[in-house]
Amino acid sequence: MEYAALVDVYERLEATDSTLAKRDVLGEAFADADDEHLPLVVVLCQGHLFAAWQRKELGVSSSLTARAITKATGVSEDGIERRWEETGDLGDAAAWATENEAQRTLFSTDLTVQAVVETLRELPTYEGEGSEQRRVDAIAGLLSDATPREARYVTRTALGHLRIGIGEGLVRDAIALAFLNGIDDAGTVGDSGETTDGEATDDKTTEGEATNGKATDGEGADSEAIEAVERAFQVTNDYPLVAHTAREEGLSGLAELGIELFRPARVMLAEKAAGLDAGIGSVAENPADVLLEFKYDGARVQVHKQGEEVRVFTRRLEDVTDAFPDVVRAVRADVSATDCVLDGEVVGYDRETGDPIAFQQFSQRIKRKYDVEELIEEIPATLHCFDALSIDGESLLDASLDRRLDALGNVLDPEPGAVERATSQRVADSDAPVDFYDWALLAGHEGVMVKNLDAPYRPGRRVGYMMKAKPTMETLDLVVTRAQYSEGRRSDFLGRLFLACVDDTDRADDSDTNEADEAAGTTDDGRFREVGRLATGYTDEELRELTDRLEGLLTERSGRVFDVRPEVVLEIEYEEIQSSTKYDSGYALRFPRFLGVREDLSPADADTLSTVERLYDEQ
């Protein structure tokens, strides 16, 4: 398949703000792709070259890409830099350079979809001395064969920012449209209404269109096709596989997709309760069906075991096995199942006092690549297991929590300080739930989880089966959407960071966009609402690390302020929340202060506008 045909799709997608039109274009592209190219088209339309759990980095920066453009076209890096500053898009600069190239390649071939995927997927394999130049040469090779139109999207794909407004929700809907006839000509999803738990798909819509993963016809019922694709993706995290299965086997084939060892599923997510009593009343009508459990301040992990092989994944699906050899050893020794998938929290403890340490201190364990065993001596960890998704080949996703806990107990031989069952208590067995809550806080934990014992496991969902109750003056996990360099001594650092929450309100469905929306920034995966600007709380070393990370995510520039691809989540404390017209959320944090990077959270896991509104009301 020629890459030019995919560029036609990109340009059609970029030319429309209509979510429904994007969905139709994408569905047509999927339907037209043959069996060999369908997975590649899905991958390239998402803009991610690898499955989420693989977390391979292409190792491509803006400066490296600019060098590749120069090598391919002969246009100077200064000229490319000027064009980049004018347009705010290095892809546009690549198109311009290709059109005005100072040197011509004697021999070139038509660029193909397969060549783009294979070349870019090979980049992470380049290691050691000369690896950076090999990446430059590889990208330059693609650009040498590219037309100006193709060069724009090759560059954007290499940088991980396609800018065509496609998120997971639109891919899901397009698969249903292409292969399951799940969407009718009027733009509704069969007889459907809400189709997900708030997954955003686009940043602009017109009246009656779908956004935030929703499509409505006024009835509010779930679409079988959309729900089937959504479920299949949540358990596989592999849209190419889901698309292929939908085409070849339909709804029945999607229903067969499930938990697979070493391919992590999305974890089930908890909603925030206004208080302990409210949480108990929300998860179940009968308090006897409610389980209370310590809420740990650690790293949520999914542990996969097959024989002696054990792998550990974060809730972001990142493989962190190498960072937790102590957890691997403990699972091998204390979990009797031949194969299993367990859900739990890894918590760091103070070696002297035995008290749990704050996540920000423990996060060193997640990031550490070298001298891991030395850090284990300094910060020992315990895996607290609280759920089982699969045991010895049997999926437990549709089983009740009560049954899943029984299954977990049958294969887990707890060892204090290594692998333990999460501390829990049934409400029916408790004289006063508040006593359990106080116990959790006195033990140094964050609060209490409130769970429905009759509920199944729903990967990637906030479905009301599980809630978390914490002290009301809680910190906020917020996404960096814009950044500005500091002044004075810290002028080399991106020290002024704009913070945003996830918009989970009806405002995300508004058809009109305004200047505040544009200022706040949008992404292919949803909309964020800014709640303030951060400038304090970090050490020079922390700020240096943040700057190194954010500089690779800078996109458009307006004066001294850069838009940032929203991937970094920070934990923020603050003095109070104020009503404000300065930020498009309608709120502003007073004296926000940096506590640390939430390595375990994705942007979709950040706190919501509803949470900000609740905390504002509770002050």
The domain that holds 484 is classified in CATH as 2.40.50.140
Q: Which of 256, 288, 323 is the last residue of a domain?
A: 256
Residue 29: is its pLDDT beyond 80? yes
Q: How far is CA 97 from CA 80, 83, 90, 122, 140, in A?
A: 7, 9, 10, 25, 12
Task: Say yes or no: 418 and 353 in one domain.
Answer: yes
Mean pLDDT over residues 576-600, rounded? 91
Q: Is the dihedral of CA 453, 455, 456, 460 positive or negative?
A: negative
Spatial distance between the Cα atoms of 302 and 315, rounded to a whole number of angstroms: 7
pLDDT in tens, 258-278: 999 999 999 999 988 888 999
Tell me the per-residue pLDDT of 308-336, one tens digit each, with 9 for 90 and over: 999 999 998 999 999 999 999 999 999 99
**Residue 519's pLDDT is what?**
36
Residue 499 sits at φ, ψ, to 5 deg, of: -110, 140
Average pLDDT over residues 235-257: 95
Question: Which of 149-158, 239-248, 608-617 is predicted with the least confidence, judged by mean pLDDT?
Answer: 608-617
Domain assignment of residue 263, yes or no: no
Is residue 532 domain-shared with residue 445, that is, in the same domain? no
Among the candidates 159, 194, 221, a domain finishes at: 159
pLDDT at 370: 84
Give mean pLDDT, residues 150-178: 91
**Is the residue at 134 inside a domain?**
yes
In terms of Cβ atoms closer than 10 Å to its own Cβ (0-12, 13-18, 19+), residue 11 is: middle
Domain that residue 361 falls in:
271-469
Is pLDDT at 597 greater than 70 in this prediction? yes
pLDDT band at 105 (very low <50, low <70, confident <90, very high): low
* CATH number of the CATH domain containing 134: 1.10.3260.10
Lowest mean pLDDT among 174-188, 339-353, 434-448: 174-188
User: Looking at residue 479, what is its pLDDT?
Assistant: 97
Decide if pLDDT at 514 tops 70: no
Would you say 161 and 214 are in contact if contact means Cβ atoms under 8 Å apart?
A: no
Residue 256 has pLDDT above 60, yes or no: yes
Same domain assignment for residues 542 and 597? yes
- Residue 426 lies inside a defined structural domain of this protein: yes
For residue 264, is it within any domain?
A: no
Residue 611 lies in a domain: yes
Whole-prediction pTM value? 0.78
* Residue 251 and residue 154 share a domain: no
End residue of a domain, out of 135, 159, 183 = 159
What is the pLDDT at residue 513? 35
Q: Does 265 map to a domain?
A: no
Average confidence (pLDDT) over 221-237: 86
C-alpha span between 511 and 513 (Å, rounded): 7
Average pLDDT, the chain: 86
Q: Does the annotation mark 295 as catalytic? A: yes
Please state, for a pLDDT cut of 90, what percent of the chain lies above it: 63
Between CA 606 and CA 246 the distance in angstroms is 31
Q: What's the pLDDT score for residue 106?
A: 53
Catalytic residue from among 295, 451, 468, 470: 295
In this predicted structure, the answer to whether residue 201 has a pLDDT above a threshold of 80 is: no
pLDDT at site 102:
63
Q: Is 402 within the bounds of a domain?
A: yes
Residue 266 lies in a domain: no
Q: Are residues 408 and 280 in the same domain?
A: yes
Q: Is the pLDDT of residue 24 over 80?
A: yes
- pLDDT score, position 184: 46
Q: What is the pLDDT of residue 193?
A: 32
CATH number at residue 357: 3.30.470.30
**Do 463 and 486 fall into the same domain?**
no
Whether residues 146 and 73 share a domain: the answer is yes
Together in a domain, 285 and 412:
yes
Contact of 65 with 139, CB cutoff 8 Å: yes
What is the pLDDT at residue 170?
92
Report pLDDT for 62: 86
Same domain, 351 and 415: yes
Domain count, the chain: 4
User: Distance from CA of residue 371 to its chain's centroid?
Assistant: 28
Same domain, yes or no: 485 and 393: no
Q: Are residues 451 and 548 in the same domain?
A: no
Q: What is the pLDDT of residue 347?
A: 96
What is the pLDDT averaged over residues 8-13?
Answer: 96
Q: Which residue has the higher pLDDT, 203 or 401?
A: 401
Query: pLDDT tens digit string along 355-409?
Result: 999 887 898 888 788 889 999 999 999 999 999 999 999 999 999 999 999 999 9
Question: Residue 493 above 60 pLDDT?
Answer: yes
Position 145 pLDDT exceeds 60: yes
What are residue 271's DSSP bridge partners? 467
- Contacts of 194-197 with CB under 8 Å at 24 or more apart are 194/220, 194/222, 195/169, 195/222, 195/223, 195/226, 195/227, 195/230, 196/169, 196/172, 196/226, 196/230, 197/460, 197/461, 197/462, 197/463
Same domain, 12 and 146: yes
When comparing pLDDT for 487 and 208, which is higher?
487
